[in-house]
Amino acid sequence: MFTETPGPELAAAAVRLGVAPLERLPLWAAHWLAEDRDGPDLRILAGMSGQDVEEVRSVLPWALAQAGAPEPELSAAARVVFTAVARRCADGIDGEEQVLLAVERICRATGYADEVLTAPLAQVLAVEGEWHHPGGRERAVLRAEIQAAVKAQLAD
Protein backbone atom coordinates (compact mmCIF):
# COMPACT_ATOMS: atom_id res chain seq x y z
CA MET A 1 0.00 0.00 0.00
CA PHE A 2 2.93 2.34 0.69
CA THR A 3 5.52 1.89 -2.01
CA GLU A 4 6.52 5.56 -1.89
CA THR A 5 6.56 8.27 0.74
CA PRO A 6 2.99 9.39 1.43
CA GLY A 7 2.05 12.89 2.42
CA PRO A 8 1.41 13.60 6.09
CA GLU A 9 -2.39 13.46 5.66
CA LEU A 10 -2.28 9.93 4.23
CA ALA A 11 0.26 8.84 6.84
CA ALA A 12 -1.88 10.22 9.69
CA ALA A 13 -4.94 8.48 8.27
CA ALA A 14 -3.07 5.17 7.96
CA VAL A 15 -1.82 5.52 11.53
CA ARG A 16 -5.39 6.18 12.73
CA LEU A 17 -6.60 3.05 10.92
CA GLY A 18 -3.74 0.95 12.28
CA VAL A 19 -2.28 0.08 8.89
CA ALA A 20 0.77 2.37 8.74
CA PRO A 21 4.19 0.71 8.86
CA LEU A 22 5.41 2.57 11.96
CA GLU A 23 9.02 1.56 11.33
CA ARG A 24 8.98 3.64 8.11
CA LEU A 25 7.60 6.83 9.66
CA PRO A 26 11.03 8.26 10.59
CA LEU A 27 12.07 8.08 6.93
CA TRP A 28 8.81 9.71 5.87
CA ALA A 29 9.36 12.44 8.45
CA ALA A 30 12.80 13.11 6.98
CA HIS A 31 11.17 13.55 3.56
CA TRP A 32 8.60 15.95 5.02
CA LEU A 33 11.39 17.99 6.60
CA ALA A 34 13.00 18.23 3.17
CA GLU A 35 9.66 19.58 1.91
CA ASP A 36 9.92 22.52 4.36
CA ARG A 37 7.64 21.12 7.04
CA ASP A 38 9.20 21.61 10.43
CA GLY A 39 8.77 21.19 14.13
CA PRO A 40 10.79 19.83 17.03
CA ASP A 41 8.85 16.57 17.27
CA LEU A 42 8.98 16.09 13.52
CA ARG A 43 12.77 16.46 13.70
CA ILE A 44 12.90 13.97 16.58
CA LEU A 45 10.85 11.48 14.57
CA ALA A 46 13.07 11.96 11.52
CA GLY A 47 16.11 11.16 13.66
CA MET A 48 14.75 7.83 14.89
CA SER A 49 15.80 4.50 13.42
CA GLY A 50 12.27 3.11 13.39
CA GLN A 51 13.36 -0.13 15.03
CA ASP A 52 11.57 0.73 18.27
CA VAL A 53 7.95 1.28 17.21
CA GLU A 54 6.97 2.31 20.75
CA GLU A 55 9.51 5.11 20.55
CA VAL A 56 8.03 6.14 17.19
CA ARG A 57 4.52 5.95 18.62
CA SER A 58 5.51 8.17 21.57
CA VAL A 59 6.21 11.21 19.37
CA LEU A 60 3.91 10.45 16.46
CA PRO A 61 0.80 12.54 17.28
CA TRP A 62 2.83 15.72 17.75
CA ALA A 63 5.11 15.08 14.78
CA LEU A 64 2.16 14.49 12.45
CA ALA A 65 0.44 17.63 13.74
CA GLN A 66 3.61 19.63 13.08
CA ALA A 67 3.67 18.17 9.57
CA GLY A 68 0.17 19.54 9.10
CA ALA A 69 -1.82 16.37 9.70
CA PRO A 70 -3.37 16.01 13.15
CA GLU A 71 -5.09 12.71 13.93
CA PRO A 72 -8.30 12.46 11.88
CA GLU A 73 -11.62 10.97 12.90
CA LEU A 74 -12.00 7.32 11.91
CA SER A 75 -14.41 8.00 9.03
CA ALA A 76 -12.17 10.75 7.63
CA ALA A 77 -9.13 8.48 7.91
CA ALA A 78 -10.98 5.72 6.05
CA ARG A 79 -11.95 8.15 3.29
CA VAL A 80 -8.33 9.32 2.84
CA VAL A 81 -6.81 5.83 2.80
CA PHE A 82 -9.54 4.23 0.67
CA THR A 83 -9.25 7.10 -1.83
CA ALA A 84 -5.48 6.52 -2.03
CA VAL A 85 -6.06 2.80 -2.63
CA ALA A 86 -8.68 3.59 -5.29
CA ARG A 87 -6.37 6.12 -6.97
CA ARG A 88 -3.58 3.53 -7.23
CA CYS A 89 -6.01 1.16 -8.94
CA ALA A 90 -7.42 3.81 -11.27
CA ASP A 91 -3.87 4.81 -12.22
CA GLY A 92 -3.01 1.18 -13.06
CA ILE A 93 -0.46 0.81 -10.26
CA ASP A 94 -2.43 -1.83 -8.36
CA GLY A 95 -4.91 -4.36 -9.66
CA GLU A 96 -8.23 -5.47 -8.28
CA GLU A 97 -6.70 -8.17 -6.09
CA GLN A 98 -4.42 -5.63 -4.39
CA VAL A 99 -7.45 -3.40 -3.79
CA LEU A 100 -9.34 -6.30 -2.27
CA LEU A 101 -6.42 -7.21 -0.01
CA ALA A 102 -5.94 -3.58 1.11
CA VAL A 103 -9.62 -3.12 1.88
CA GLU A 104 -9.78 -6.36 3.83
CA ARG A 105 -6.66 -5.39 5.82
CA ILE A 106 -8.04 -1.94 6.65
CA CYS A 107 -11.46 -3.25 7.66
CA ARG A 108 -9.94 -6.00 9.79
CA ALA A 109 -7.50 -3.57 11.47
CA THR A 110 -10.40 -1.31 12.47
CA GLY A 111 -12.56 -4.16 13.74
CA TYR A 112 -14.97 -3.68 10.83
CA ALA A 113 -16.08 -0.37 12.32
CA ASP A 114 -19.28 1.09 10.87
CA GLU A 115 -17.47 4.36 10.07
CA VAL A 116 -15.11 2.39 7.83
CA LEU A 117 -17.66 0.07 6.26
CA THR A 118 -19.75 2.97 4.95
CA ALA A 119 -17.00 4.03 2.54
CA PRO A 120 -17.76 3.16 -1.10
CA LEU A 121 -14.59 1.11 -1.49
CA ALA A 122 -15.43 -1.01 1.57
CA GLN A 123 -18.26 -2.51 -0.47
CA VAL A 124 -15.72 -4.77 -2.21
CA LEU A 125 -15.71 -6.92 0.91
CA ALA A 126 -18.86 -8.49 -0.52
CA VAL A 127 -16.79 -10.13 -3.29
CA GLU A 128 -13.88 -11.18 -1.08
CA GLY A 129 -15.20 -14.69 -0.46
CA GLU A 130 -15.93 -15.28 -4.12
CA TRP A 131 -12.51 -14.01 -5.18
CA HIS A 132 -10.62 -16.53 -3.09
CA HIS A 133 -12.93 -19.53 -3.46
CA PRO A 134 -13.80 -21.18 -6.77
CA GLY A 135 -17.39 -21.73 -7.75
CA GLY A 136 -18.59 -18.16 -7.50
CA ARG A 137 -19.14 -15.62 -10.22
CA GLU A 138 -16.62 -15.20 -12.99
CA ARG A 139 -13.49 -13.22 -12.18
CA ALA A 140 -14.39 -10.61 -14.82
CA VAL A 141 -17.66 -9.87 -13.03
CA LEU A 142 -15.85 -9.51 -9.71
CA ARG A 143 -13.26 -7.22 -11.30
CA ALA A 144 -16.06 -5.04 -12.66
CA GLU A 145 -17.61 -4.77 -9.18
CA ILE A 146 -14.28 -3.75 -7.70
CA GLN A 147 -13.76 -1.19 -10.48
CA ALA A 148 -17.24 0.23 -9.82
CA ALA A 149 -16.35 0.62 -6.13
CA VAL A 150 -13.07 2.31 -7.10
CA LYS A 151 -14.96 4.82 -9.24
CA ALA A 152 -17.51 5.42 -6.49
CA GLN A 153 -14.73 6.02 -3.96
CA LEU A 154 -13.02 8.53 -6.24
CA ALA A 155 -16.33 10.32 -6.82
CA ASP A 156 -17.08 10.50 -3.06
Each residue of 66-108: pLDDT tens digit? 999 999 999 999 999 999 999 999 999 999 999 999 999 999 9
Per-residue pLDDT at 136 exceeds 80: no
Q: Are 83 and 154 in contact (CB under 8 A)?
A: yes
**What average pLDDT is seen over the chain?**
94
pLDDT at 2: 79
Q: Say what the pLDDT of residue 156 is.
A: 85
Average pLDDT over residues 140-153: 96
- With a cut of 90, say whether residue 42 has pLDDT above it: yes
Q: DSSP for the chain, please give it.
A: --SSPPPHHHHHHHHHHT-S-GGGHHHHHHHHHHTT---HHHHHHHTS-SS-HHHHHHHHHHHHHHTT-PPPPHHHHHHHHHHHHHHHHHTTSS-HHHHHHHHHHHHHHTTS-HHHHTSGGGGGHHHHHHHHSTTSS-HHHHHHHHHHHHHHHHH-
pTM value is: 0.91
Please determine, for residue 134, whether its predicted confidence score (pLDDT) is greater than 80: no
pLDDT for the residue 132: 80
| 136 CB-near residues (< 8 Å, 6+ apart) | 129, 130, 142
pLDDT of residue 129: 82
